[in-house]
Each structure stands twice: as C-alpha cells, then as structure tokens.
Amino acid sequence: MISEKRYIEIYSEIEDCINVVFNSIKSKSSSNYILILAFGEYHELLLRNPILSPYLIDYTIDRYKDQNRLKFLTEFLNSYYLFVDSEEITPDEFRFHLELMIYTHIWESKYFLKTLYRIVKTLSGECYPWTVSVPDNHKFNFLSKKIIQVIENNECSLSEIIKKGYHSSLRNAFAHSQYHYDLSIADDKIYLDNYKREDWEMKFITFKEWTERFVYSALLSYHIYNSLRSRRRSLSTEFDSTTFIVEIPSRNGIKINTVPIGYNETIDEFYYVKRNSFV
C-alpha cells in the first residue's frame, strides 16, 4: 500500500535529514562527530586496572550484537521494496508479518536507541554521552523524554521522522501478538487488541498508514547505520588526516583531556595514538 514515488520521497526525506544531522553535529564539535563515528563507550570495569582508561573507542560489541538485525533489514528492503514488477506495494500477509517483526526489533534495539540518544545529545550541543542506559522496559518514556523532546525544537526534522515511524501502541501490540487483520474481506485495517480507550492509544491502523510507518522506521534505521559506515570510511579524506583530536574525560571524570586518536581506513579501525591513563 505504498507507491514507488512515495517510497522514494520518504527515502530522500530521511537521507537528507540524516546528512543535515551529522553535518550539524560536526559543525558544533568535531570531537563529538568523530566520537560518534568511533563508537565511544564507557566501561567501568576497566577502572580495576590502575593505568587503563574506561573510555573506549571502536567498541564493537553493540554493533556485533545488532548486525544480524541490520543485515536482515537491508535484505528485506532489497527483496520487497525495489518495485521491480510493480509501481506499488500491495497488501501481502507474509510480508506484513515480517514487517511487524522488523518494526518491533527496530524499536527494541538497544544499539539503535543508544545511537539515537547520542545523536540527539550532540546535535543539541552537549558533550558526547559516553554512558547510555537504555531501559529493558518502558522504552516509550526513554524515546519520548530523552530523544524526541530533546530535539523537538531543533531546526532539523529528525523528531518528526521518528514520530512518523514510532508509536508505542504498535510496538506493544506486535511484541505481544495483540493484533489481527483479515485480507479476505474489504477491511484495510490492522486492529490492535491492546487498545484500552486511552487518548494516546491506537485502536487500528489502515494498511496504507501502517506501510508508511514501517517504511519511516526501517529507512531511519537503515540510513543512520549506512551514514555512520560511509562517513567512517571517508573520514580521512574529509579531514585530510588520519589523526584526530577528541575530548575524553579523565579516569575520575573530573576534567576533560584532549587526546589524539587515529583511523586506519584499510582495516576500518580507530585506535589511540598514544595510550595513557588520562588521569
């Protein structure tokens, strides 16, 4: 229930927005920009060693855990949204079930939500958030208060794109199998069985509305991941250097050190130029 023309419009809308977001972050702080691309992460356990810094760069565990979801998402879009045989995607029960699963996984992915959180914080001009705690439950509050509300008044449309995709009624209904629809009758709606007449809840969503929400969510996840990957690869050319100065807190977090880090494009890896304790 989406045309090729509309899909291309959404694709371009999100791609342009993500480019504006990352360019804005870079213009406000090259350190924040590089740390996002370098996947900076805080690990308190390293404080047990008297000389190691708990502030890591190129922390790959989160990306490793999320790579299967991202790979499947990309393959799904390439399989079902290339518009090879038709200029419009029509209702299909098998595709619907896959979309419901993918949608739920996008908005449950802690790696994705951590990345969004770091993007909106640095977009707002704040210091890079090394520690991000995504709750196991009530992710709506995390998304609403710590991501959407932070950038609602920003010049970028990222908050609107998130709201065009995410709705907690959909996420909860799909995650707990509280939905139903029937393609055999003239009723183009997915009914949400978790509806309790609250003002913010959805009772149903039309097939067309659902497809747009899915496409907004899927392409937001795709473009953020794709932009992070491509910008890492082009960083040396962009800055005409393989060494970058970033701001990293001291071990006790009291002061900020300016530290050189390097990037090896051949193996796609960031590293500390001179390892120290950042005391």
Residue 159: phi, psi to the nearest 5?
Answer: -65, -40
Q: Residue 34 contacts by C-beta under 8 Å, 6 or more apart in sequence?
A: 235, 244, 246, 261
The pLDDT of residue 62 is 86
The pLDDT of residue 279 is 52
**With contact defined as beta carbons under 8 Å apart, do 63 and 111 qualify?**
yes
215-266 tens-digit pLDDT? 999 999 999 999 999 999 999 999 999 999 999 998 887 899 999 999 999 9
How sure is the predictor about 155, in pLDDT bands with cuts at 50, 70 and 90? low
Number of other residues whose CB lies within 10 A of the CB of residue 7: 21
The pLDDT of residue 154 is 64
Q: Which two tokens stand for residue 147?
A: 């991501």
Residue type, 264: N
How far from each other are the two terminal CA atoms of the chain, in whole angstroms? 57
Tell me which DSSP letter residue 53 carries: -
Q: How many residues in the chain? A: 279
Tell me which DSSP letter residue 210 carries: H
**With contact defined as beta carbons under 8 Å apart, do 178 and 192 qualify?**
yes
What gap in Å lies between CA 43 and CA 220, rounded to an integer? 28
Mean pLDDT of the chain: 91
Looking up tokens 């208060």 gives: 145
The pLDDT of residue 278 is 52
Looking up tokens 């079930």 gives: 97
71-111 tens-digit pLDDT? 999 999 999 999 987 888 888 889 999 999 999 999 999 99
CA angle (267 as vertex; 66, 236 as ends), nearest 5: 100
* Nearest in space to 214 (alpha carbons), one of 157, 176, 164: 164
pTM: 0.93
H-helix segments, 29-130: 30-37, 61-80, 93-108, 110-123
